[in-house]
């Protein structure tokens, strides 16, 4: 069963998101410009400002298509997510599609949009922490510290020393520097383990010369960013080697 009734979902969602980028950003100084941009989206006879009275300001960022409900092959309501200040909100946009033709079909906003509250964050249930292997943690910690230093710096030869035979990995090539191994979770198991590491990356300021460590302006101090990784490691002899690295899943505990 086609729940979208043949409506062009991808095109409709992209059209609504582009429209929202114009509609959700206004201030009196740009009123004429906004009206001109909206004209490309609106059905004939609609108000040039689509309900805005010309006063006040609104700014929206992080505009993304969120959902679509097609009533038939020509009519749909697209929901767009956006951020305005500290609030995450939604915009409901009615869209009409003219259908296939010599022009491939066209889209137009067919009615007034509606701003809606965004759904609240989901409740995340707690999960049990796996049984840890303290001995493996002690063995892995210095190995992984060396691995992450080379992973950040782009030291290809140095990185290869920490990888399992036959493996290769791209690196950050100096985009970050290693700031420490914040957390290491190693469950009990055999010679191959799936582990989680929380790493601190030092984010450069982009300033030249390097940022003064005694600077008081936060923009001049290198930032520190905690990131969680899931690694597959295997033990060969008395050392552990990295087989794979990827983003970690959900937190535990």
Average pLDDT over residues 134-147: 95
Check: CB of residue 241 under 8 Å from CB of residue 233.
yes
Average pLDDT over residues 190-197: 94
Model confidence band, residue 125 (pLDDT cutoffs 50, 70, 90): confident
Q: What whole-number percentage of the chain has pLDDT above 70? A: 89
First vs last Cα of the chain: how many Å apart? Answer: 42
Would the pLDDT of 170 be above 80? yes
pLDDT at residue number 127? 79
Model confidence band, residue 235 (pLDDT cutoffs 50, 70, 90): very high
Average pLDDT over residues 175-197: 94
Q: Tens digits of per-residue pLDDT, 42-89? A: 999 999 999 999 999 999 999 999 999 999 999 999 999 999 999 999
Q: What whole-number percentage of the chain has pLDDT above 90? A: 75
What is d(CA 179, CA 248) in angstroms, rounded to the nearest whole number? 19
| Residue 228: both structure tokens together | 């969680």
Virtual CA dihedral for 206, 211, 213, 219, nearest 10 degrees?
-60
pLDDT at residue number 3? 62
Would the pLDDT of 172 be above 80? yes
pLDDT at residue number 208? 43
Number of Cβ within 10 Å of residue 239's Cβ equals: 12
| Residue 96: both structure tokens together | 């009409």
29 secondary structure, DSSP code: G
Check: CB of residue 21 under 8 Å from CB of residue 63.
yes
Would the pLDDT of 5 be above 60? yes
Q: Answer left, alpha or beta for residue 235, where phi above 0 means left and psi between -120 and 50 means alpha.
A: beta
Mean residue pLDDT of the chain comes to 89
Check: CB of residue 131 under 8 Å from CB of residue 186.
no
| Residue 248: both structure tokens together | 């970690």
Higher pLDDT pick, 248 / 144: 144
Average pLDDT over residues 86-95: 96
C-alpha to C-alpha distances, 169 to 48, 83, 128, 181, 186, nearest whole angstrom: 54, 36, 31, 19, 22
CA nearest neighbour of 165 among 243, 245, 244: 243
Would the pLDDT of 209 be above 80? no
Model confidence band, residue 1 (pLDDT cutoffs 50, 70, 90): very low
Contacts 24+ apart (CB under 8 A), 113-118: 113/20, 113/23, 113/50, 115/89, 115/90, 115/91, 116/79, 116/89, 116/90, 116/91, 116/92, 117/89, 117/90, 118/81, 118/87, 118/88, 118/89, 118/90
Model confidence band, residue 245 (pLDDT cutoffs 50, 70, 90): very high
pLDDT at residue number 213? 58
Check: CB of residue 94 under 8 Å from CB of residue 74.
no
Number of Cβ within 10 Å of residue 119's Cβ equals: 10
Q: Which of 67-76, 97-106, 134-143, 154-163 has the lowest mean pLDDT?
A: 97-106
Average pLDDT over residues 23-33: 96
pLDDT at residue number 253? 41
């Amino acid at each position: 069963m086609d729940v979208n009734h043949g409506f062009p979902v991808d095109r409709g969602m992209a059209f609504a998101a582009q429209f929202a980028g114009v509609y959700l950003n206004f201030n009196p100084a740009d009123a004429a410009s906004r009206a001109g941009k909206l004209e490309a989206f609106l059905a004939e006879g609609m108000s040039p400002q689509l309900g805005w009275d010309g006063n006040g300001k609104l700014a929206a960022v992080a505009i993304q298509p969120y959902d679509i409900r097609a009533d038939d092959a020509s009519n749909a309501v697209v929901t767009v997510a956006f951020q305005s200040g500290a609030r995450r909100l939604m915009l409901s946009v009615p869209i009409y599609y003219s259908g296939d033709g010599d022009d491939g079909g066209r889209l137009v906003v067919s009615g007034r949009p509606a701003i809606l509250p965004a759904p609240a964050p989901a409740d995340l249930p707690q999960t049990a922490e796996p049984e840890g292997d303290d001995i493996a943690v002690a063995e892995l910690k210095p190995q992984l510290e060396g691995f992450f230093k080379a992973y950040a710096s782009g030291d290809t030869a140095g990185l290869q020393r920490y990888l399992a035979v036959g493996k290769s990995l791209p690196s950050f090539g100096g985009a970050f520097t290693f700031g420490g191994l914040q957390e290491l979770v190693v469950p009990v198991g055999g010679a191959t383990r799936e582990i989680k590491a929380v790493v601190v990356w030092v984010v450069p300021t982009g300033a030249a010369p390097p940022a003064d460590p005694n600077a008081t302006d936060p923009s001049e101090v290198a930032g520190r960013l905690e990131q969680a990784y899931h690694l597959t490691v295997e033990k060969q002899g008395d050392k552990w080697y990295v087989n794979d690295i990827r983003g970690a899943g959900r937190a535990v505990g």
